[in-house]
Amino acid sequence: DGGITQSPKYLFRKEGQNVTLSCEQNLNHDAMYWYRQDPGQGLRLIYYSQIVNDFQKGDIAEGYSVSREKKESFPLTVTSAQKNPTAFYLCASSPGTGNGYTFGSGTRLTVV
């Protein structure tokens, strides 16, 4: 079955370390997205990509970086420049307008 996979589900890192969150989809979707969710909060867009080798900043891109070298993959790196990285991170993909998103199951990052 097609879907979108985020790994790992839980991630612990020490302050000051960079960490990369994986997002892979086999839905053949063109667009992919990264969102951050804090407790009791809505979704905030970090980065998105509508085609391979191209991506745009969302509302809260500072301290994050992404790449889109393959259609299936859109990894997110949380750098040491991100002031408050502890959060729940959600990846999503979409085939285009009118179809909505398919979400992954999320990665909970805790920085200690």
Partner 1 sequence: GNSVTQMEGPVTLSEEAFLTINCTYTATGYPSLFWYVQYPGEGLQLLLKATKADDKGSNKGFEATYRKETTSFHLEKGSVQVSDSAVYFCARDPGAGSYQLTFGKGTKLSVIP
List residues near partner 1 by CB under 8 A. 6, 30-31, 33, 40-43, 45, 48, 50, 90, 92, 94, 96-106, 108
Question: Would you call the peptide bond into 95 cis, given omega within 30 degrees of 0 as the criterion?
Answer: no
Residue 70 and residue 51: Cα distance in Å, rounded?
A: 9
User: Rounded to 5 degrees, what angle do the CA atoms 97, 107, 69 make?
Assistant: 55
Q: Which is nearer to partner 1, 78 or 91 (CB)?
A: 91
Residue that the structure tokens 């839905």 belong to: 27
CB of 88 to partner 1, least distance (A): 8
CB of 19 to partner 1, least distance (A): 19
Q: Which is nearer to partner 1, 58 or 79 (CB)?
A: 58
Q: Which amino acid is at 52?
A: V
CB of 105 to partner 1, least distance (A): 5
